[in-house]
Amino acid sequence: SAKQHGRNQFAFFQPQMTEEIRERLEIQQGIREAIKHDYLFLDYQPIYCMRSGRILGAEALLRWRHPQHGLLSPARFIPIIEESDLIEEVTRWVAQRAVTDLQSLLELNPAFSLSINISGAALHQSSICDFICDLKQQQNLPDDSLCIEITETSMITHLESSENALRRWKSAGIEIWIDDFGTGYSSLAYLNSLSIDGLKIDRSFVHNLIDGHSRPLIDAMVALAESLSIHTVAEGIETEQQLALLRKMGVHLAQGFGLARPMPLLDLQQKIRLEIEETA
């Protein structure tokens, strides 16, 4: 608050702005330390097959255990890091860690697929694209075991560089998913021209499915995906009712707190092992 920083006279006049600038600086300076000292880590949220109810894959979600501020959410620090070159370093860190962890998950399930989030700002840098393609090759990852999630908005904002990156990932055997689908104001033309593998229906639609008005919208997204022969994931499933209805509506994959929260690698491995034992 402004009071806490009251020593600074400027803060008295523009507390909001000063607080924002201070936070931005702290995050941009802190992230280097975080990478160096291993304050960053990934949680994994399982993604389930609607039909079989089994885990098909997971999404890697970045966390920052800050020595002073505790656990920081990516929703808070990623947008700030995106404003600087640091996003490149962070994206490399995420990709490296995720690919290492993916190796162990593939040992449990050779068809496992792992998604990483790539921010629009990172799409600009062709070196990021190369880095991830190289990782996939060096590690001998099977095709389609690694997926990239990109939001509609960032793809449109960085259309030219995203087209190039997507094409190269595609030919390297890396899947491309559209994240938070339905929330960007974009034309649908890009779905056809870029080779997209699937749509992640944003959790706001899932949230408004039962009591709100989003059912016809989800129906339209499922129909669109079907006509393009691509897959759909529903994000943010919290209740049995949502799960049952989305399955009935033809959504292929399911993700949400109601099924499983993001968890450490060890817990995910354990979950997969239990599944294998149960069906053995």
Determine if 15 is a binding residue for ligand C2E (CB under 6 A).
no
Asked if residue 34 binds ligand C2E (CB under 6 A), the reply is no
How far separated are the first and last CA of the chain, in Å rounded? 56
Q: Is 99 in the site for ligand C2E (CB under 6 A)?
A: no
Q: Please state, in angstroms and rounded to a whole number, the distance separating the CA atoms of residues 251 and 274.
A: 25
Using the rule CB under 6 A, which residue among 34, 56, 119, 181 binds ligand C2E? 119
Of the candidates 196, 191, 198, 201, which has an alpha carbon nearest to the alpha carbon of residue 169? 196
Q: Does 175 bind Mg ion (CB under 5 A)?
A: no
C-beta closer to Mg ion: residue 15 or 258: 258
Q: Which among ligand C2E, Mg ion, none contacts residue 175 (Cβ within 5 to 8 A by kind)?
A: none
The binder of ligand C2E chosen from 180, 205, 251, 254 (CB under 6 A)? 180
User: Taking CB under 6 A as the rule, does residue 120 contact ligand C2E?
Assistant: no
Of 113, 117, 162, 242, the one binding ligand C2E by CB under 6 A: 117
Q: Which two tokens stand for residue 185?
A: 């104001």
DSSP H or E run through 168: helix 159-171
Query: Which partner, Mg ion, ligand C2E, none, binds residue 232 by CB below 5 to 8 Å per kind?
Result: none
62 interacts with, out of Mg ion, ligand C2E, none, CB within 5 to 8 A per kind: ligand C2E
Judge residue 201's burial from the number of C-beta atoms within 10 Å of its C-beta, 0-12 exposed, 13-18 middle, 19 or more buried. Answer: buried
Name the DSSP class of 249. Answer: T
**Is residue 94 a contact residue for ligand C2E (CB under 6 A)?**
yes
Q: Which DSSP category does 75 fall into?
A: H
Nearest CB to ligand C2E, comparing residues 57 and 262: 262
Nearest CB to Mg ion, comparing residues 30 and 151? 151
Backbone angles phi, psi at 201, to 5 degrees: -70, 120
Which pair of structure tokens corresponds to residue 189?
Answer: 């033309």
Instruction: Tell whether residue 180 is a contact of Mg ion (CB under 5 A).
Output: yes
Residues 147-166 that bind Mg ion (CB under 5 A): 149
What is the contact mask toward ligand C2E in residues 41 to 60, using x (rule: CB under 6 A)?
----x---------------
Contact range with ligand C2E by CB under 6 A, out of 32-40, 73-81, 105-113, 186-194 = 73-81
Q: What is the CA radius of gyration of the chain?
A: 20
For residue 42, the one-letter residue type is: L
Whole-angstrom CA distances from 216 to 71, 108, 177, 223 are 38, 38, 22, 10
Smaller CB separation from Mg ion, 115 or 161: 115
Residue 62 found at the interface with ligand C2E (CB under 6 A): yes
Q: What angle do CA 272, 277, 280 make, to 5 degrees?
A: 125
- Asked whether position 256 contacts ligand C2E by CB under 6 A, the answer is yes
What 3-state DSSP class applies to 60?
A: strand
CB of 84 to Mg ion, least distance (A): 21
Query: By three-state DSSP, how is residue 32 classified?
Result: helix
| Chain contacts with Mg ion (rule: CB under 5 A) | 117, 149, 179-180, 235
